[in-house]
Chains A and B, each alone.
Chain A
Amino acid sequence: MMNIGSGSLMSVPSCTGSWKSGDVVSDQFPVGLRVLVVDDDPTCLRILEKMLRNCHYEVTKCNRAEIALSLLRENKNGFDIVISDVHMPDMDGFKLLEHIGLEMDLPVIMMSADDSKDVVMKGVTHGAYDYLIKPVRIEALKNIWQHVVRKKKHELKDNNYDQSGSVEEGDRQQKASEDVDYSSSANEGNCKNSKKRKEEEEEADERDDASALKKPRVVWSVELHQQFVQAVHQLGIDKAVPKKILELMNVPGLTRENVASHLQKYRLYLRRLSGVSQHQNGLNNSFMGRPDATFGIISNLNGLDLQAIAAAGQIPAQSLATLQAAALGRSATKSAIPMPLVDQRNLFSFENSKLRYPEGQQLQLNNSNKQTDLLHGIPTNMELKQLANLHNPSESFVGMNMQVNSTTQHNNSLLMRMSQSQPRAQMLNGANNGSQVSRLPLSMQQSLSSEGIPGAVLAQSGIVDNAHGSVYNPVSQASSMVDFSVNQSKELQSYNFSLGSNSSGMSTMTNRGMLQEEVNSDIKGSRGFPSNYDIFNELQPKSQNWSLQNVFSTFDASHHPSIQGTQGVSSQLLLQQGISSTHNSERNRNVPIGKPMYSNGEQSGHSNPMGGPQLNSVGGNMLAVKAERFPDADYQSTIFPVQFGQDDLMSAYLKQQGSVEPVETEFGFDGYTLDNLPV
């Protein structure tokens, strides 16, 4: 029987309203923080409830994960934070974590009597904001509010970052030239090169106007991140300098700045990993050399991964506007994205087939520049950002995913593209022209889908394909990207392509149609997703902190003695885990992307059959989380009882594509096969 907190169920306390919405903190904060605590052990549950009450929080307790999910779904904004046990009979805690991250984008704290490192790591990689070892002490609970604040703050910052582009390294000026140079030198004969170059140039132009424009973010897809990690390892972490890493990675369109900023995050993450036992705050502080908040946040962003994932998953749900806003990284949007969550969800859910863009959102990415860019295949990063913004202020992640959409001024258009795009199918099929990203999305998707993330997962790969041409199909990609990134764990900055979302969401979007024709045409083409790189570039530094963050630091272990400092769990790890888990279940899918899939944590041990190079241990939190989820076939049945069924989305999408037939997969959604996704 469900054990709901006495009387506090779902009521939205007025006292918490004030701090919840746009401001970070009110005078009373954190009094009244609305906590949902989930634990199948009645003794622990009762104790936690009492402890939380003593902290003056508003507590709702729940002894079943599914019930918790429905509570959360019914009350989109009814809770501020979730605390959940890892081992539960009806649903694995990590799965719940993924779901929440994707759908609601709330910070989630995991707890367990199990303090073994791998489980803790799993929490991190799955994007938990913190991991508490039982028995939990009240001191540990007193500080959970910081996760909420941090998350919000982070999202705001992401928005700001989007604006500034990946200038963290301060090499902005050089970017353009470097990008161009790089692309030329890195030319591998890839047909995308020219497109990429063009995009880069455009990017460069955009960057030049940096302050005014939104820089597209680089989407650090699982694959890309893996390449990055490999390069770093090859060079040796101490000797790994951005320039050399860039060379080793040999990714056209990726700039030194992108790499540098990603490297910084990665380093933070590693430090976090090694400093787990230290007090997180201390660690974070020390790590945060960076002026930019994102980094600081990164370390604290344990939950980012989750968020990212959530964002990814959510993006579809979230109105596109948000996504777009996020993608664009418009600073303004972030905070302002009221994103009606509900709307968004609807967006991607089949039930709704309407793409809703929050009016209030700035989303409209009005990046005029971007628009044109989009049309020209501008990096989808922007789009994603926009989308991300749409998603939620808190969803920095979304932005990442949305990269794809960032460029479009209208999310719709992006979405439309995405949905329309055939490419999805293509993408799914690995049609991507070698774009790494494409692969990821699939896997992500898969994981996502199972989670019921309607569109988020999708088509990252699809997007990639589309991106083939100069036109970036940001829309399509964005959707997939979004999802993908979500799944992937934050670090992958949004490369989520939510294939699923694209398909389903797209259909609705087409109405909007901005880039519709483009999308269609582009999508149809089996374009690779050259823009991925663009996205990566753009996404990278700023907004994506969360993506990176996800990767690196999955949870804020500040108050948790055992986990402290583990924020930086490498996303790779997560990714790996995710991948492996996904693989297990997803054998039949050829989703190279599988890598980043989320792993429920159970599967962390699996290797990624999908073939994508697994992200190395560093971190695919998000992804990892996803991956694991999928393998659990039962997941789908339980997970979204009423949600717009991802399965539906997926199947719809797939059908759309025509190339994929719904496949019953562990992931719980109709599988689409990514055959040729480049690894």
Chain B
Amino acid sequence: MERNNHLRRQVANLRQSLFDQGYLDDQFIELEELQDDANPNFVEEIVTLFYKDSARLIHSIDQALEKQPLDFTKLDNYMHQFKGSSSSIGAKKVKIECTQFSEYWRAGNVEGCKRTFQQLKREYVVLRKKLEVYFQSARQAGPTETMSCRPN
């Protein structure tokens, strides 16, 4: 029990730090609020689904950026899709990179785009790791009451 509480606190802290450090935004909380008895692992499912689906998008963008000449329409579509996806799980930093990418894109700054995309991938990977840790701890700590607090 004590241990459990400790675990729970740990999970809560983990979670809070994700928000504090800007990895997650309010959309994540929206997901948490959707979680219920019928779908007790909803958030984790969604995150898993996101990473699975976006992997191919990332790959496509990587390839598209390497092509000469660049296929602008495709790239634009991929990135748009990716942005929509990542924003839906509340991946804040990733989303920021998407926006940055779009700006470089609009400015025609291909190098900027490529650089940003590398940064984006890093953020993408970092977030995944953090979320994995988080979900794992949450599972260990048991059903969560921690989910419902909104970060300030």
Contact = CB atoms under 8 A, between A and B. Distances in A.
B27 A46 contact: no
A88 to B, nearest CB: 9
B82 to A, nearest CB: 9
A41 B77 CA distance: 12
Contacts of B88: 41, 43-44, 47, 134-136
Contacts of B49: 42-43, 46
Most chain B CB within 10 A, of A44, A85, A134, A138, is at A44
A655 B30 CA distance: 56
Interface in A2-30: none
Interface in B77-114: 77, 80-81, 83-85, 87-90
Q: Which of B27, B42, B77, B84 has the most CB of A within 10 A?
A: B84
Contacts of A244: none
Contacts of B81: 40-41, 87
Interface string A33-63: 0000000111110110011001000000000
Contacts of A239: none
Q: Which of A54, A135, A138 has the largest number of chain B CB atoms within 10 A?
A: A135
B125 interface: no
A114 B80 contact: yes
B34 interface: yes
B90 A135 contact: yes
B84 A50 contact: no
A114 B79 CA distance: 11
Contacts of A43: 46, 49-50, 53-54, 85, 88-89
A134 B87 contact: yes
A237 interface: no
B84 A47 contact: no
B33 interface: yes
Contacts of B53: 41-43
Contacts of A233: none
A128 to B, nearest CB: 17
Interface in A111-144: 112-114, 134-138
A46 B31 CA distance: 11
Contacts of A138: 30, 33-34
A14 to B, nearest CB: 22
A89 B74 CA distance: 10
Contacts of B85: 41, 43-44
A47 B34 contact: yes
A650 B39 CA distance: 50
A441 to B, nearest CB: 33
Contacts of B46: 43, 46-47
A407 to B, nearest CB: 48
Nearest to B51: A43
A52 to B, nearest CB: 10
Contacts of A134: 84, 87-88
A87 B81 CA distance: 8
Nearest to A41: B85
Contacts of A42: 49, 53
B83 A113 contact: yes
A42 B51 CA distance: 11
A41 B84 contact: yes
Given A46-B49, A47-B88, A87-B80, A135 B34 contact: no
A648 B33 CA distance: 50
A473 B54 CA distance: 56
Given A113-B87, A135-B27, A137-B30, A87 B77 contact: yes
Contacts of B31: 47
Contacts of B84: 41, 44, 85, 87, 112-113, 134-135
A46 B83 CA distance: 16
A586 B68 CA distance: 32
A600 to B, nearest CB: 14
A87 B77 CA distance: 8
Contacts of A44: 84-85, 88
Nearest to B29: A137
A415 B36 CA distance: 55
Nearest to B98: A113
A85 B81 CA distance: 10
Contacts of B39: 50
A114 B81 CA distance: 10
Interface string B15-45: 0000000000001001101101001001001
Nearest to B39: A50
B134 to A, nearest CB: 18
B2 to A, nearest CB: 35
Contacts of A47: 31, 34, 46, 88-89
Nearest to A139: B30
A645 B64 CA distance: 37
A138 B30 CA distance: 8
A135 to B, nearest CB: 4
Contacts of A89: 77
B15 to A, nearest CB: 19
A324 to B, nearest CB: 44
A14 B122 CA distance: 50
Interface in A419-440: none
Contacts of A46: 45-46, 49
A308 B50 CA distance: 37
A137 B88 CA distance: 9
A136 B53 CA distance: 19
A525 B59 CA distance: 62
Contacts of A114: 80
A140 B55 CA distance: 29
A84 to B, nearest CB: 13
B126 to A, nearest CB: 19
A93 to B, nearest CB: 12
B87 to A, nearest CB: 5
A114 B98 CA distance: 12
A54 B80 contact: no
Contacts of A51: 30, 34
B79 to A, nearest CB: 10
Contact of B30 (A41, A87, A113, A135): A135
B80 A50 contact: no
Interface string A627-646: 00000000000000000000
A42 B48 CA distance: 11
A137 B33 CA distance: 11
Top 3 nearest A-B pairs (CB, nearest first) are A113-B84, A43-B50, A135-B88
23 contacts: A42-B53, A43-B46, A43-B49, A43-B50, A43-B54, A44-B84, A44-B85, A46-B49, A47-B31, A47-B34, A47-B46, A47-B89, A50-B34, A85-B84, A87-B81, A113-B80, A113-B83, A113-B84, A113-B87, A114-B80, A135-B88, A135-B90, A138-B30
Given A41-B53, A47-B46, 11 more contacts: A41-B84, A41-B85, A43-B54, A46-B46, A47-B31, A47-B88, A51-B30, A87-B77, A87-B80, A113-B83, A134-B87
